[in-house]
């Protein structure tokens, strides 16, 4: 839907991963990612976008992972999420 709805529904510690598009109504996806990180520093933020972003684009800094849309390989998506969860700050030893 939109970033403000996501912020209202967000509960720190409830989710481990947030998959966020850059192109959202109102607040942009990178701003949403920053706000989620302020509420829960351990949440893993995955950028999903169809936009071509340069490696040094400052909007990428709001995310731990970047996934280019369209996503046609479900195995790639599963691998990315598994890797993100494996490397999660919440992971206990």
Domain extents for the chain?
A: 3-86
User: What is the pTM for the complete model shown?
Assistant: 0.84
Asked if residues 18 and 84 have their Cβ atoms less than 8 Å apart, the reply is: no
The pLDDT of residue 34: 97
Asked if residues 44 and 84 have their Cβ atoms less than 8 Å apart, the reply is: yes
**Which letter does DSSP use for residue 59 in this model?**
G
Locus of tokens 């599963």: 78
Q: For residue 43, give the 3-state DSSP assignment.
A: coil
Q: Does residue 92 surpass a pLDDT of 80? A: no
Decide which of 3.40.50.2300, 1.10.10.10, 3.30.360.10, 3.40.140.80 is the CATH code for 3-86.
Answer: 3.40.50.2300
Tell me the per-residue pLDDT of 5-58, one tens digit each, with 9 for 90 and over.
999 999 999 999 999 999 999 899 999 999 999 999 999 999 999 888 888 999
Mean pLDDT in residue range 69-81: 90
Q: For residue 51, give the 3-state DSSP assignment.
A: coil
């Amino acid at each position: 839907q939109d970033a403000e709805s996501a912020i209202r529904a967000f509960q720190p510690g409830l989710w481990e991963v947030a998959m966020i598009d850059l192109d959202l109504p109102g607040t942009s996806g990178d701003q949403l990612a920053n706000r989620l990180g302020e509420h829960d520093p351990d949440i893993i933020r995955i950028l999903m976008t169809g936009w071509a972003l340069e490696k040094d684009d400052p909007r990428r800094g709001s995310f731990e992972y970047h996934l280019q849309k369209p996503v046609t390989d479900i195995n790639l998506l599963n691998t990315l999420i598994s890797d993100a969860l494996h490397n999660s700050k919440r992971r206990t030893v």
